[in-house]
Amino acid sequence: GCVLVVSVIEQLAQWHNSTVKAAMEKLCDYIPEKHNSLCLCTISFSIDREMNADVVCHSLRLCKQDPGQPLCHLYSPPKLHHLCELMHPSIFIFLPLQKSFMGFSSVCAFPLLANLCEKMKYILRNKLPFEDFDGDKFSTFPTLRGYHWRGRDCDDKNTTVYPGRRPDNWDAESDSNCNGIWGVDPKDGIPYEEKFCKGADSKGVVLLGDSAGAHFHIPPEWMTVPQMSAKSFANLPMAFSDELDWPQFSEITGFLNSTIGGWTDSLYLRLRKRNRCNHRDLQNISQNGGSSGNLLSLIKSLARNQLLDNPAIVIYATIGNDVCNGERDTLAHMTTPKEMLSNVVQALRYLDSHLPNGSHVILTGLVDGRFLWDNLHDRYHPLGQLNKDVTYSQLYSFLDCLQVSPCSGWLTPNETLRNLTSERALQLSNVLKEIARSEKFVNFDIFYMDFPLRQTAEQWRKMGGEPWQLIEPVDGFHPSQIAAALGTGITWQKALHQWPQVLGKENPFNDQIEAIFRDQGGH
């Protein structure tokens, strides 16, 4: 964190030909006013041209070298005489708010905040909406696991009103399922929901996934100095309250036009277009670091009533974290095929006890992450674009040295290790494939599909794109917005041709629904 911030400050000073103090003040000016209290600090230090962020952060004692561990650095090591900075700091920093970084548990020691903190910890642990007054797991608030993640509630004071339920009395008097279709046609006295949605095979979409499914994204303009402005940071509060995830633009549950590049195309949007009665019936139950193991607890935040709700299409997609970790002996910490089988079958049994009859489950195979190193290792990271001094290879090595790499097995110059990681990923995908072939459940049928990385890359090349553009530029690990949108089309076409029963029928009344309820069903 220190290396990142100091790098940006140094580059701002360079770009604007200013002092470091002026650059820090400029950075603070960019941050939205409500959230820039942490910038109330006085900084006094000078950095010569060869004193990089690694040296600064070690001098501040914010970075350290543990006994027996290598010295971790992002930039090329400085000249010998600058190493004295590591032992005799000439840099002074005064943070009057330093004690405010005590941590979450210390803040929660205050009696007035104790109850709120307990609720916050519960919500963060269970991935449920922070603002949910009726406790139905749906919210009218966008972030903090609100309607960016699940269909927007239309009555947060009534636990029987929420997206995805079967209409109450055909919604003749009110909108019980929040799809915007309710009331009675005055011409014939038939409720609109009955007229347009009865027998329409309505179904929702649920994603059980990881950070790729949640659509993790750090805006590159936050650390690319030539692009940096107050406008660059306008989305910072929303991004942090959504855990740096952007599910509202994601491949499975996206519903808003993308503001982070590319375009939004999602399974939800296509299901909604196919049948307007599906409006708002979405749930993105994903978390950063999601794997087949921890998904067993995450799945309990699913909101589906077997008796009252419509069936659902559930996408099970933990595409990397069962082989990805930051451990030195990364192979020893990967999920084994036996563990994968146990984890997934347990999750499917839970779904069978909660999903309405007529649902569908699609198991998605793991990605072949060799694509990352092959297409990024010698390219410049956003932090290195100004001075051509930080490649993705350097970033990966830095994170691996700190033992915080998102995937030590793939983000490495060790080709043998990359191949072994892909070999394990293929073994786990084969487990999923065999489950889909052999396991039977009462309330849903089950299918398997490979993660469509190869098809996505081929399609993007035909459109004139480069493979590296399919990867998030800041973390160099997750699928980009372009990859998400292209992947949707590939998944849809596969389902359309191989499993048409999953997608349901096309509703012949879509145009009439839009004409009557255009202004009532907004997201």
The CA-based diameter of the chain, rounded to the nearest angstrom, is: 88
Q: Look at the block and give the residue holding tokens 């929420």.
A: 162
Predicted pLDDT of residue 22: 92
Exposure on the CB side of residue 453, measured as CA atoms within 13 A? 22
Q: What average pLDDT does this structure show over 280-294?
A: 97
**Distance (Å) of CA 116 to CA 139, 140, 142, 404, 516:** 18, 19, 19, 30, 43
Whether 211 sits among the annotated catalytic residues: the reply is yes
pLDDT confidence of 92, banded at 50, 70, 90?
A: very low
**Inter-CA distances, 120 with 106, 146, 360, 490, Å:** 14, 13, 33, 38
Task: Tell me the CATH class for 205-223+235-506.
Answer: alpha beta
Which positions ≥6 away from 382 have C-beta within 8 Å?
220, 223, 224, 473, 474
Residues 312 and 356: beta-carbon distance below 8 Å: yes
Tokens 């849809």 appear where?
Answer: 492
Instruction: Give yes or no for a contact between 117 and 108, defined as CB atoms under 8 angstroms apart.
Output: yes
Mean pLDDT score across all residues of the chain: 90
Distance in angstroms (rounded) separating the CA atoms of residues 490 and 506: 19
Q: Is 486 helix (H, G, I), strand (E, B) or coil?
A: helix
Closest CA to 75 of 55, 94, 98, 104: 55
C-beta atoms surrounding 70 within 10 Å: 10
Mean pLDDT, range 133-157, rounded to an integer: 97
Confidence at residue 438, expressed as pLDDT on a 0 to 100 scale: 98
The stretch 170-198 carries a mean pLDDT of: 97
* % of the chain at pLDDT higher than 70: 87
Q: Which residue has the higher pLDDT, 94 or 435?
A: 435
Please report which confidence band the pLDDT of residue 87 belongs to, taking 50, 70 and 90 as the band edges: very low
Beta strands in 163-298 (DSSP E): 204-209, 282-286
DSSP string, 178-201: SSS--SB-TTT--BHHHHHHTTS-
Looking at residue 353, its pLDDT comes to 98
Residue ranges matching CATH 3.40.50.1110 in the chain: 205-223+235-506
> What are 260's two structure tokens?
């982070």
**Given 176, 202, 211, 422, which residue is catalytic?**
211
Query: Tens digit of pLDDT for each residue in 361-419?
Result: 999 999 999 999 999 999 999 999 999 999 999 999 999 999 999 999 999 999 999 99
Kind of pairing, strands 92-94 and 42-44? antiparallel
pLDDT grade for 126, boundaries at 50, 70 and 90: confident
Reported as a single tens digit per residue, the pLDDT across 321-373 is 999 999 999 999 999 999 999 999 999 999 999 999 999 999 999 999 999 99
